[in-house]
Amino acid sequence: MTSYCPQINAMLKVGECLISEGVIEKSFACNVQACKGVCCIEGDAGAPIEPDEIDTIQQNIDYIKKEMDDDGLKTLSSKGFSENDPFDQMLVTTCKPNKECVFVVRKDGILNCAVELANQKNNFNFQKPISCHLYPIRVDKYNEFYALNYHRWSICADACTKGVTDDIKVYQFAQKALERKFGKEWYESLENSIKAYLKKE
């Protein structure tokens, strides 16, 4: 779900990406048992979604529909699963009348993503929208570079605590998502750049 204003506070440059201090230095490890997946329903709009992701979701919508709840299916039928955010025209997932993302489903008291559940069962190689997978990192595309910022949100306080306890930084928590977005070689370059930076401190 969106609730974000981009800013550029670059600390490192890796390829075409400017990495902010928060991505490198802040601790974070999602603690879904504590937060119950509340990031899937908080915010002022649906989750940011990229144009090519719409095609992938549409190709697998029959699998996904089997995991959706009744309100999600009704919203899908009446509004589809994507729309433009009225505030900034960003492409986002649609929301149910109660403001939840159309793909949110509850299982054992925890909010889950119908896309992710469908992928786990049918292996169509699309875990969920990349914006959700990358969270708490937000990626903004500019003409000549990407800006990667850590999005601080009070509802993720438990994740910050767990990150400190488990000694996991934001970029480490988001490794698989970053590799999905930019490639494994890029992530290796990020790790090497961070090691070199920390040696200078």
Q: What range defines the domain where residue 25 resides?
A: 10-200
pLDDT of residue 2: 42
- Cα 20 to chain centroid, rounded: 17
Hey, what are 95's tokens? Answer: 């929301």
Question: What residues have CB less than 8 Å from 133, skipping those under 6 apart?
Answer: 127, 174, 176, 177, 180
- The one-letter amino acid code at 1 reads M
Q: Rounded distance, CA 27 to CA 25, Å?
A: 7
Confidence (pLDDT) at 9: 56
pLDDT at 4: 40
- pLDDT for 10-34, tens place per residue? 589 999 999 999 999 999 999 988 8
Residue with tokens 């144009």: 51
Q: What is the pLDDT of residue 198?
A: 80
- By CB atoms closer than 10 A (0-12, 13-18, 19+), residue 70 is exposed
DSSP 30-48: --HHHHTTGGGT-SSB--B
The answer to the question of residue 37 being in a domain is yes
Cα Rg for the chain, rounded, in angstroms?
A: 17
**Residue 154 identity:** S
Q: Which region among 2-11, 80-89, 171-180, 189-198 has the lowest average model confidence (pLDDT)?
A: 2-11
Q: What is the pLDDT of residue 130?
A: 96
Classify residue 3: in a domain, yes or no: no
In a domain, 4, yes or no: no
Mean pLDDT of all residues in the chain?
90
**What pLDDT, on the 0 to 100 scale, is given for residue 3?**
39
- How many Å apart are CA 130 and CA 152, to the nearest integer? 18
- pTM assigned to the model: 0.88
Mean local confidence (pLDDT), 164-168: 96
6-10 average pLDDT score:
52
Mean pLDDT across the stretch 165-188?
Answer: 97
79 is a domain residue: yes
Instruction: Answer for the pair 96, 76: CB distance below 8 angstroms, yes or no.
Output: no
SS3 179: helix
Give residue 45's pLDDT: 81
The per-residue pLDDT for 79 is 95
Can you tell me whether residue 107 is helix, strand or coil? strand
The whole-number pLDDT of residue 5 equals 39
Check pLDDT > 70 for residue 96: yes
Whether cis (ω within 30° of 0) applies to the bond prior to 6 is: no
**Is the separation of the CB atoms in 75 and 96 below 8 Å?**
yes
The 3-class secondary structure across 122-161, one letter per residue, is: HCCCCCCCHHHHHCCEEEEECCCCEEEEECCCHHHHHHHH
Does 5 map to a domain? Answer: no
The answer to whether position 75 is within a domain reads yes
Number of structural domains found in the chain: 1
Task: Kindly state whether residue 73 falls inside one of the protein's structural domains.
Answer: yes
Res. 1 pLDDT band, cuts 50 70 90: low
